[in-house]
Amino acid sequence: MTAFVLRRAAASALLLMVVLTTTFLFIHLAPGDPFRFYADPRVPAEQNERLRQLHGLDRPLIVQYGAWLRAIAVEGDWGLSFSSQRPAAQVVTRALPNHPAAGARHRGGALRRRHRHRHVRG
């Protein structure tokens, strides 16, 4: 039983690393620059470059990845939401309680449609 639990924990950790790495690569290897969401076109280019350095976007990709992983895993910092400019963890935790209720409603509706011609006898 212990071996099973350890295998499952290792597989879960590996899957988490794959998801995190894929997410990081999608963000950083997509066409364009991730900094374009933060950059303000009204400020001088030198100020935007200083902000790029402040966020570490001038460093090599592997260094950025290590800093990003550390921020998520150790500090719990998920960064800012692009749409609301609030901490992303706050946005997710605010929306999280709605998902189980919505899932239950959809599941219940699907079951009713599937079994609509069956009658339950009491």
Domain ranges for the chain, please list them.
2-77, 85-122
Provide the CB-side half-sphere exposure for 50 (13 A, CA).
Answer: 5
CA distance 55 to 69: 14
CA distance 55 to 116: 56
pLDDT in tens, the chain (122 residues): 899 999 999 999 999 999 999 989 988 888 877 677 667 788 888 888 888 888 788 899 999 999 989 988 888 888 877 677 788 888 878 877 766 666 666 666 666 666 666 665 65
